[in-house]
Structure 1
Amino acid sequence: MVLAFSGLSLAKYVTSSPALMRFLKPVADAYARAAGYRKMGLRYDDLLIEENDTAQKAISRLSERETYDRAFRLRQATQLSVLHRQLPKEQWVTPQEDRRYLNPLIEELRTEEQERAAWDTVKVKKDKH
């Protein structure tokens, strides 16, 4: 089944509906807790697949501090995984800290790519005077 909302993404559709938000927010919060990535000190965007060009470009656009913090979180989580441990509870990433830092850059890059593709396919009509 394909859902089409006249150009709206499903996330935008859900967030625009207070009733859906009241229903789905607890489910989303429970899923994030069950996933366990916050217990390892990771943010959601740390889990995104980096092997595509868009993600690589977005990572390269991060500030120096955000790049350092991301590398630290990934190394720390890898070490904790090897040791089969979690961070102490006071060091877990809170839902307020788990903000999307990479996704806005990825969306910006996709918009740029669409704009570039639109300009690359522009046909110029010569005026006959």
Structure 2
Amino acid sequence: MFGPVGLSLAPYVRSSRTLSKWIAPVATWYANASGYRKYGFKYDDLLVEETDEVQRALKRLTPAESYDRAFRLKRASQASVLHKPLEKSEWIKPEEDVRYLVPHIENVMKEVDERRAWDDLKVERK
């Protein structure tokens, strides 16, 4: 998978129990060390918004998802102004950190590819 989300080895790692056993603790450590959950962010809140695909995917969020995203962004901005993370009870838990935007981005990218395929279609007369 290429594009704003990047290349993902996750399906390959998940299919191998040995790799999962070795990589899962490192991935968990890295997510905790990056600190975005301390400010109330989910991983998809950190995606670059300036690409057309992400902009179109953001428009496809439900009103509740859009509101939650805006709330997380404002709350994190306030915590940043105060130069301290949120209270530990307000941190995003790993089980809450689900990819809510990536499925929409993937659908947008599939539509773009399909549109390109139809735009390049050549009609021949017989």
Deviations 1:40-77 (A, max 9, x none): 11100000000111111000110001101100100100
TM-score, normalised with respect to structure 2? 0.90
Which protein has the larger Cα radius of gyration, Structure 1 or Structure 2?
1
Per the TM alignment, residue 25 of structure 1 is displaced from its structure 2 partner at its CA by: 0.8
2:20: which partner in 1? 21
2:4: which partner in 1? none
Runs of 5+ in structure 1 lacking a partner?
A: 1-7
Give the match's secondary structure for 2:65.
helix
Per the TM alignment, residue 89 of structure 1 is displaced from its structure 2 partner at its CA by: 1.1
- The letter for the 1-side match of 2:31 is A
Distance 1:98 1:22 in 2: 20
2:83: which partner in 1? 84
Give the match's secondary structure for 2:27.
helix
Per the TM alignment, residue 9 of structure 1 is displaced from its structure 2 partner at its CA by: 4.5
Runs of 5+ in structure 2 lacking a partner?
A: 1-6
- The letter for the 2-side match of 1:93 is I
Distance 1:63 1:106 in 2: 14
For the aligned residue pairs, the C-alpha RMSD in angstroms reads 1.3
2:33: which partner in 1? 34
Aligned residues: 120
Alignment CA distance shift 1:9-1:46 (3 Å): closer
